[in-house]
Amino acid sequence: MIPKIDPISITTIKEKDVESIVDWFDQHIQSFYTLGWSFLRNQQQMEELFYRSIIKVHKELPRFKSETSFETWATSIFIHTCRELSDGRSLQASEESEQQKDVFKALDQLKEYEKEAMILTYVKGISKEEAAHLLQVSVEKIKELLFSGIQSLRKEMGNGSHFNGCKEYQKDYIDYLERTLDRSKKIDLEKHIYQCQDCQVDLATFQDAILTMLNLTERIEDLHVPSGFMENVKDRLAEKEKRRQQKNKKRLRKGLVFAGVFALLIGIDFFTGAFSNLYYNWTEEDQELRAFLQQDLGKMLNLEAESNGVKIKIKSAIADGVQTLVFYEIEDTEEDNQYVMDYFDGVFVENEHEIMSHEGYQGYYPPDLESDVNKEEKNVYQGKMSLLPLTTNNGTIKLKITKLHKLIRDSSDRNGFRGYDNMEYETGEWNFEIPVTKQPSVEYALDEVTEVEGIPVRFEKLTIAPTATVLQYGINIEQPEKRIDGLNFDHLEVNNKKVKADRYGRSFVETHHVGKWATFQTHFDPIFAEKPKEVKVQFNSVYLTFEEQKTIELDANQEYPQTFEYAGSRISIDKVEVGQPTKVVISDHEIENRSYETLNFQIVGEDENEISSMEMSTEGVLIDKNGVEYDVNENPFSFEEIEQPRYFITVQSMELHNENTGEKVIPKRLEIYGYNATKYLDDVVNISLE
């Protein structure tokens, strides 16, 4: 059982603030270092673990309640931080003995809660009751986790690949070995083991696994805390405090300047529409949000929530029949980190089914790395996120956020960011209730038909909403030998005003049209207060699928590479190698004037059902409209800045498996049934609405 810290120590910690928390961790350094090493085993991450844990304990100290011990409470925060840092990280360690490495490696293969139960019980050495409290599960659940963890551990450590003990008795192994089993159950188990050889072997190997864990605990003093470890943590905390004081001074100066300007505006009695316009010009840095506010399409909310030193502000929400845009600001109050939201990872609308339409549009907006505030402020990010449209005219969005994505700075990137590569996260809990009012949209019926690469395209509807301008169109699908899989627009021109197309804003629309037409929508930037008289549609490119069949016989006994002609190109079969798995490689490195970008094909074996799975990896080259090549594996570039990119696949490597029989796959035919290609367009279609 973890001993409770005496009340005098708690009082001292609260009075001396963060310095006393550092001292407390220093006094318990061996115990917590061992616990952290069981998760991370990387010196740099261990320093980060103690640094974050001390900050979180200090921040949460006012919420500490004396019903539990201080050490238990601090350990729960420490464990939570271990989870954050160990998620998706590689573990490399050189400070362990070979036996320790084997045990730690085996622990890494366990499920999260199994591993934590094992570490807390056998490495940290606390009781099952205390472990249950830390992991917020029942004591019986802890026993289940220990049993399943030990089962997995002995498999990983090579103590037998299968265990034939009787399941109805296995649940009592732990209590029996720890001599806490009820006497009647103990007698029953011993009688059974005496007669059952399988259970004798099973219990013996189970006991060996527990002894291995206990021996690790006895040898744990060999895992020394490096000299200067806590001094490094203290230096980081001192630097953090210095930055915090500097930021507070900067905020104070900004606040005094703004207060003077605001007082001047009030003093000259600027209570008109002009005041509202000028007010937002002064106060709102986000130009897009400022435009919505100036058009009276929303209002400033400035709802705030903070968790783990990260403050989220919901600045405003603009809703219409197309989508609901949420404008937010995220500030790291303790370090120079920038975070963004991803609705599909850690962001939830808890009452989505009650107030939102699942037939609506939910846009994707990549991080805006070019805005002044996102480039100047290293610890602040301003962004927007799209949610589904409302089903009612008014509502309250219950937004819950549990994970934020960290933007990683990288000097090799022209924008100063590495974006979503090697993503790190910040977890916590931020809850908001966001009031929203749905703004009206106007729809205009269209009746215009044109042709793109010989395929009819008809324009059906134009929707002008506050958050987007939406063009709905149909594509004829009667020609099987050639079809349009993607139609891209450059811009719309409405009443001589151009609005750019959203490159991520194309979506399929479920309609009741039968057979001939598939309906799509493309989103463009919003047009405020416009009643269209004429619409000009500027095309950009079209992505086509061509059906052109060709069969090439394969023979693993022949020598490769071999070539064949297809779609005006010479394609090479580089490898046909039978094995476990069977490998086939095809390539075409000549991309100048190549008519296709990707091939659509399959590999067929001797038996038509012989291939049950095919794993494929590809290599390729990205080319812009002017023929400039971009190697996606080498020089950094911004995909957003490439003009009309095309991706040519140059190598396709396949691994073929027969998972039904386990036999080797014998490839017999390469069956090509079509290819894809992008065509650039510069056509303009004029549509009159009068």
Q: Give the model confidence (pLDDT) of 641-688 as tens digits.
A: 777 888 899 999 999 888 777 788 889 999 999 999 999 999 999 998
SS3 332: strand
Question: Chain centroid to CA 448: how far?
Answer: 42
Distance from C-alpha of 205 to C-alpha of 198, rounded to nearest angstrom? 11
Q: State pTM to two decimals.
A: 0.60
Query: Is the CB of residue 475 less than 8 Å from the CB of residue 516?
Result: no
**Residue 628: its pLDDT value, please?**
85
Q: Using alpha carbons, select from 672, 671, 669 the residue that is nearest to residue 553.
A: 669
Tokens of 297: 């399409």
Query: Is the CB of residue 132 less than 8 Å from the CB of residue 142?
Result: yes
Tokens of 202: 């099973």
Give the strands of the sheet with 310-319, arranged side by side.
303-307, 310-319, 324-332, 380-387
H helix count then E strand count, the chain? 18, 25
Distance from C-alpha of 591 to C-alpha of 569, rounded to nearest angstrom? 9
**Residue 32: its pLDDT value, please?**
85
- What confidence category does residue 163 fall into, taking pLDDT thresholds of 50, 70 and 90? low
Tokens of 650: 């140059």
For the chain, the first-to-last Cα distance in angstroms comes to 82
Distance from C-alpha of 41 to C-alpha of 90, rounded to nearest angstrom? 9
- What confidence category does residue 104 fall into, taking pLDDT thresholds of 50, 70 and 90? low
Distance from C-alpha of 462 to C-alpha of 17, rounded to nearest angstrom? 61
Query: Is the CB of residue 324 less than 8 Å from the CB of residue 317?
Result: yes
CA-based R_g, the chain, Å: 32
Query: Is the CB of residue 681 less than 8 Å from the CB of residue 540?
Result: yes
Average pLDDT over residues 378-390: 93
How many other β-carbons are positioned within 10 Å of the β-carbon of residue 450? 16
Distance from C-alpha of 593 to C-alpha of 600, rounded to nearest angstrom? 19
- List CB contacts of 367: < 8 A, sequence separation 6 or more: 340, 374, 381, 383, 407, 417, 419
Identify the weakest region by mean pLDDT among 146-155, 598-607, 614-623.
146-155
Residue with the larger pLDDT of the pair 633 and 453? 453
Distance from C-alpha of 13 to C-alpha of 399, rounded to nearest angstrom? 35
Tokens of 607: 């038996």
Helical segments of 87-196, H only: 98-108, 112-118, 128-135, 139-156, 167-170, 173-177, 183-195
Identity of the residue numbered 264: L
Query: Is the CB of residue 648 less than 8 Å from the CB of residue 621?
Result: yes
Does 636 sit behind a cis peptide bond, omega within 30 degrees of 0 on the bond before it? Answer: no
Average pLDDT over residues 39-48: 82
Do you know the residue count of the chain? 690
Average pLDDT over residues 42-54: 86
Identity of the residue numbered 227: S
Tokens of 529: 């207060």
**Residue 4: its pLDDT value, please?**
40
Tokens of 163: 């265990």
Strands of 345-423 (E only): list them: 347-349, 380-387, 394-407
Helical segments of 178-317, H only: 183-195, 197-218, 229-267, 273-283, 287-294
Tokens of 46: 């261990």
Q: Give the model confidence (pLDDT) of 49-78 as tens digits.
A: 898 888 888 877 877 766 667 888 888 888
* CA atoms lying within 13 Å on the CB side of residue 49: 31
Mean pLDDT of the chain: 80
Query: Is the CB of residue 595 less than 8 Å from the CB of residue 658?
Result: no
Give 226's DSSP letter: P
Identify the weakest region by mean pLDDT among 358-372, 495-509, 530-544.
358-372
Tokens of 425: 């996260």
- List CB contacts of 351: < 8 A, sequence separation 6 or more: 396, 397, 398
